Amino acid sequence: DNKQNISEEVEYTITGIEPGAGITVTTEKAIKEYDSLNGWSLETSSTAAMVTALEEAIDNEEPIIVTGWNPHWKFAKFPDLKYLEDPKGVYGGAENIQTLARKGLEEDKPNAYKIIDQFNWTVEDMESIMYESKDTGDSIDAVASRWVEDNQNKVSQWTDGVEDVDGVKVEFSSTPWDSERASSSVLAQVMEQKGFDVTVTPVDPAAVFEAVANGDVDATLAAWLPATHKDFYNKVKNDIVDLGPNLEGAKIGVVVPGYMDISSIEDLEP
Ligand code: PBE
């Protein structure tokens, strides 16, 4: 495959995910910024459809270019997947997943605020839940519940200094991806053990930020920053409390199978 053939064979199309995803917005920016992507389009559908297209392409050793991210199980299942270099830095460098709270939460529900603020874990923690759910077919909630049992050291750091409560209601907004289903499920279960009554509502990223800024929910664990959700964040940054990263070392970008003989977004052809 020479480079021209690759661009032609994928029909100048990047296989994307949900229209509302941050990575979709970021990829539209990349298409505008890179001359090599002039005239390209981003085909949006769903994460499940992207993964199916990726699996089929790999089975047939055909070229495909997808929007991809970590933490996700696709890199464990297909170890030769690679990110294309992004010399313009459109996709940012190391991404964090951050916790945002509504204004007033600390005063209204200090114990909830404390545990939400203390929640943090690693890429490996999050991926272990995602892999196990993918492997066993068990729900994220079921695997998260086992993870909580098996990781009491970490859990006790989050609950340090947090008093038990009696049914205090706490609402999270989250996104529908497995990564955020895992984090929300873990913290919800830990908080329920402390006596909180927790609700998690998955919505599009734009709605996640609005819900926290409007005070419709108490907090979210689902903000990918500084790049992925930059536009959503900038709109509301004065109306929220930013509690910083709950996970460091996430990543987003353009991903291709290892048999494709290109290494940079600039290797593509308009
Ligand atoms: N993601 C996974 C989401 C956030 C979590 C990278 C696909 C996005 O908004 O792009």
Nearest-CA residue for ligand 1 atom 5 is 177
| Mean pLDDT along residues 207-211 | 98
CA proximity to 116, closest of 100, 127, 129, 104? 100
**ipTM > 0.85, yes or no:** yes
> Ligand 1: which of 15, 91, 179 to mutate, judged by most atoms within 8 Å of the beta carbon?
179
The reported pLDDT for the residue numbered 248 is 98
The reported pLDDT for the residue numbered 234 is 98
10 Å CB burial of residue 153 (0-12, 13-18, 19+) is exposed
> Ligand 1: which of 224, 233, 247 to mutate, judged by most atoms within 8 Å of the beta carbon?
224
Q: Give how far Cα 118 sits from Cα of 154, 190, 199, 213, 237, Å.
A: 10, 12, 19, 21, 21
Give tens-digit pLDDT for 226-249: 999 999 999 999 999 999 999 999
Q: Give how far Cα 128 sits from Cα of 71, 144, 174, 186, 269, Å.
A: 10, 10, 20, 12, 38
Q: Where are the domains of the chain?
A: 3-93+252-267, 95-249
CA proximity to 205, closest of 187, 228, 226? 228
Q: Rounded to two decimals, what is the model's pTM?
A: 0.96
Determine the Cα–Cα distance for residues 204 and 23; give it in Å rounded to an integer.
Answer: 12
| Mean pLDDT along residues 242-259 | 97
| Mean pLDDT along residues 144-150 | 98
Q: Work out which ligand 1 atom sits closest to the CA atom of 224.
A: 4
The reported pLDDT for the residue numbered 130 is 96
Mean pLDDT (the chain) is 97
Determine the Cα–Cα distance for residues 76 and 244; give it in Å rounded to an integer.
Answer: 28
> Ligand 1: which of 17, 24, 174 to mutate, judged by most atoms within 8 Å of the beta carbon?
17
Give tens-digit pLDDT for 68-112: 999 999 998 998 999 999 999 999 988 999 999 999 999 999 999
Tell me, in angstroms, the distance from the centre of ligand 1 to residue 61's CA: 26
Pick the CATH number of 95-249 from 3.40.50.11540, 2.60.40.1260, 3.40.50.720, 3.10.105.10: 3.10.105.10
Please report, rounded to a whole number, the percentage of residues in the chain having pLDDT higher than 70: 99
Tell me, in angstroms, the distance from the centre of ligand 1 to residue 21's CA: 6
pLDDT above 90 for 3: no
- CATH topology classification for 3-93+252-267: D-Maltodextrin-Binding Protein; domain 2 (3.40.190)
10 Å CB burial of residue 251 (0-12, 13-18, 19+) is buried
Tokens describing residue 100 = 């945002």
Please report, rounded to a whole number, the percentage of residues in the chain having pLDDT higher than 90: 96
206 and 168 Cβ atoms separated by less than 8 Å:
no
Pocket of ligand 1 (CB under 6 A): 17, 21-23, 69, 175, 177, 179-180, 205, 224, 228, 252
pLDDT above 60 for 156: yes
The reported pLDDT for the residue numbered 2 is 64
Give tens-digit pLDDT for 120-146: 999 999 999 999 999 999 999 999 999
Determine the Cα–Cα distance for residues 114 and 145; give it in Å rounded to an integer.
Answer: 21
Place of tokens 């600039």: 266
Q: Give how far Cα 81 sits from Cα of 9, 26, 66, 89, 170, Å.
A: 18, 20, 10, 20, 39
Report the alpha-carbon angle 118-168-155, nearest 5. 30
Q: Give how far Cα 74 sits from Cα of 70, 198, 215, Å.
A: 9, 30, 35
pLDDT band at 4 (very low <50, low <70, confident <90, very high): low
Determine the Cα–Cα distance for residues 101 and 159; give it in Å rounded to an integer.
Answer: 17
